[in-house]
Amino acid sequence: MAFVSEYGMFLLKAVTLLVVVVVVIRVIARSASWDPSPGEGTLRVKKLNREYQKLGDRIRVRILSRAERKALVKARKGESKAEARGETDAQASSARLYVLRFSGDIRASAVESLRQEVTALLAVAQPGDEVLLRLDSSGGIVNAYGLAAAQLDRLRQKKIGLTVAVDSVAASGGYMMACVADKILAAPFAVVGSIGVVAMIPNVHRLLKKFDVDVELITAGEYKRTLTVVGENTDKGRAKFTEQIEEAHTLFREFVGRYRPQLDLAAVSTGEHWYATRGVELGLVDALQTSDDYLLAAVEQRAVYEVRFEPQRTVSNRLASFVDATARRLFHSGWQASRDSRYGI
């Protein structure tokens, strides 16, 4: 027990020191006067038809005869010249498909890029155009993923078709985003569902009390704090916190039901997750298909563009991201991940 206590105090000191170092470095980095204005970035647009064509051509030049290769090279040069002159083809005159990516972390950091991409698309999309979101996320903070889902809803409000493709995972907050789509595609063993809410808050009050360390927590408002990391938690606080968790779960269920009314919410909102093969049977997924197959078929029929917003990576951004990433790796399941009592989906 003595070893455990000493180790606990060592860990507490180490975490405190790390937090101080993180704060100091972030303050110094963000106050650097020679950094460009944060929030700026670049919107990159790439036509995927040509990219897929190049992939095929790499094999064609190996298997075609010499005469056929010459004909292929001549044809591609002609296409490039026509495109440079602005001449349209059948693909350009048809409805377009815009491709977005969202790789989610616990804070849904990619939502800042997503909101820029959606805003740009709303300015140019025409009736009949479609957006394909390649989504990969296992969820995170409730309000962050709520904002990400709201960005996708902007597309639906403007009557722009939205398809979500899940190749790996769209669970919890990730599924909150996916359910907004008109159609959900998924690879057979992609993970979907997990319509539930979870919270984990460590408490070191008894350890601090053993070493005669007092913590003063002063609040205004009966439920300003329900459960804390360092203070003494009460049954009343636990009951209120549970009530808040249940409320978040109810809102989550209602949100999913609004966009996918065919679901048996009682059956799928237990917090469980399923592979997409089973998800089709439950109504969580509309069809089993990878995003690659969907795009391969699309490039044969219409113009396909990948749209990606890249935030400007200033020196302070890079340094702050490095420090944050290091802290998360060291204390992902401990103090750093849950000290602010936020709960995730």
pLDDT in tens, 1-10: 555 456 556 6
Higher pLDDT, 184 or 325: 184
State residue 160's pLDDT score.
Answer: 96
d(CA 37, CA 136): 30
At 87, is the pLDDT very low, low, confident or very high (cuts 50, 70, 90)?
very low
Mean pLDDT over 10-38 rounds to 56
Quickly list DSSP for 66-95: HHHHHHHHHHHHHHHHHHHTT---HHHHS-
Catalytic positions, written as ranges: 172, 224
User: Structurally, how many domains does the chain consist of?
Assistant: 1
State residue 91's pLDDT score.
Answer: 53
- φ, ψ of residue 251 to 5 degrees: the values are -65, -40
Residue 106 lies in a domain: yes
d(CA 125, CA 98): 9
d(CA 244, CA 29): 37
State residue 243's pLDDT score.
Answer: 92
Q: In this structure, what token pair is assigned to residue 277? A: 């093969």
Residue 6 lies in a domain: no
Higher pLDDT, 9 or 289: 289
Where residue 83 sits, what CATH number does that domain have?
Answer: 3.90.226
Please check the confidence at residue 344 and state whether its pLDDT lies above 70: no
Nearest to 97, CA basis, from 120, 130, 128: 130
- The range of the structural domain enclosing residue 160 comes to 42-185+291-311
Q: Can you say how many angstroms the Cα of residue 15 is from the centroid of all Cα atoms in its chain? A: 28
Nearest to 172, CA basis, from 147, 195, 189: 195
Q: Using one digit for the tens of pLDDT, what is the confidence trace for 302-324?
A: 999 999 999 886 655 566 556 55
Q: Using one digit for the tens of pLDDT, what is the confidence trace for 230-242?
A: 888 888 988 998 9
State residue 76's pLDDT score.
Answer: 77
At 227, is the pLDDT very low, low, confident or very high (cuts 50, 70, 90)?
confident
Please check the confidence at residue 38 and state whether its pLDDT lies above 90: no
Higher pLDDT, 283 or 73: 283
pTM above 0.85, yes or no: no
Task: Report how far apart, in Å, the C-alpha atoms of 149 and of each of 40, 153, 165, 172, 225 are.
Answer: 23, 6, 15, 12, 28
d(CA 323, CA 314): 14
Q: Which residues pair with 184 in a beta bridge?
A: 164
At 75, is the pLDDT very low, low, confident or very high (cuts 50, 70, 90)?
confident
Q: What is the dihedral of CA 48, 50, 55, 57, to 10 degrees?
A: 160
State residue 339's pLDDT score.
Answer: 41
Residue 234 lies in a domain: no
